[in-house]
Structure 1
Amino acid sequence: MKVHLNSVDGRFAFNAKNEKGHEYFFSGNGEGVSPMEALLMSAAGCSSIDAELFLKKMRQPLEKIEVEVEGKRAEDPPKVFTDIHLKFTLYGDLDDKKVQKALDMSMNTYCSVSKMLEKAANISYEYRIKVPETT
């Protein structure tokens, strides 16, 4: 895996591109996503990809996933994350036990981002299921 990063006009802003040409904009000046925010986004994305995959294999009618992630950082430099908490909202007429199993498999085994981050921070999660209203 390889990425390439270029500075943008000396503004503490950077454009990153992966080998497939997909781009991501980072910044240290508020114009884009900070690198630490990107880590939280990566944890949410990685675990959601896993959860969606597992729930599809379990034949669950998942409509969408939303994740809110909160990270607490140490006060002293390098101000690493000390705690990361993910709040999943899964939409669909889903079996609670299957959702729990899918998220457990992701967070405890398969999500490489979360597994890497847990070496530095306490990682926790919670979830809720929102069943669509029938008329």
Structure 2
Amino acid sequence: MIKIELRRLNDAFHMEARNEAGNTVQMDSSPEAGGSNLGMRPMQMLLAAMGGCSSIDVVSILKKQRQDLKDIQITITGEREKDATPSLYTEVHAHFKLFGDIDQDKAEKAVSLSVEKYCSVAKTLEKTAKITYSLEVIR
């Protein structure tokens, strides 16, 4: 079982989440909704979680393929339902930048395996959103 504890940091919406290892992340709401922008919004955290999940997969797969990955950067964008409550993601796109001496076919295989098969966050999001991805290898 995963356990996350949240505590309120101010009299509005600034919250801190802590996992069992003591790692923390802060969340808040927008000023328009009464927050102070002192942390990521929960729906932004969901996109960040997909990026983190996919990056772990891709790094692991490329290591197993003995590829010389020097760095990885992922940009994730999401579109949410307009004028809906709750406002779910309908489209999510992840763009992967892989730095190093990496075979293009192996990079494409690693990214597709992550997004389409292994990343639990992407698999969760795909229930309401169309998930797309692109990649570039930068040598």
Shorter-chain TM-score bucket reads over 0.9
**Residues 19-78 of structure 1: per-residue CA shift (max 9 Å, x gap):** 111001000121110001000000011001000000000000000100111100101221
- Describe the superposition over 1:75-131 as per-residue Cα deviations: whole angstroms up to 9, x where unpaired: 122111100000110000110110011111111111001001101111000000100
**Which among 47, 58, 67 is matched to residue 54 of structure 2?**
47
Alignment of 1:52-131 (within 5 A): 52-75=59-82, 76-131=84-139
Alignment correspondent of 2:44: 37
Tell me, yes or no, if structure 1 residue 22 matches structure 2 residue 30.
no
Q: SS at 2:67's partner residue?
A: coil
Where do 5+ consecutive residues of structure 2 fail to align? 30-34
SS of 1:20's equivalent? coil
TM-score, length of structure 1 as denominator length: 0.95
Greater than 6 Å deviation, 4+ residue runs: none
Long gaps (5+) in structure 1: none
Q: How many aligned positions are there? A: 131
Give me the CA root mean square deviation: 0.7
In 2, Cα distance between equivalents of 1:26 and 1:9: 11
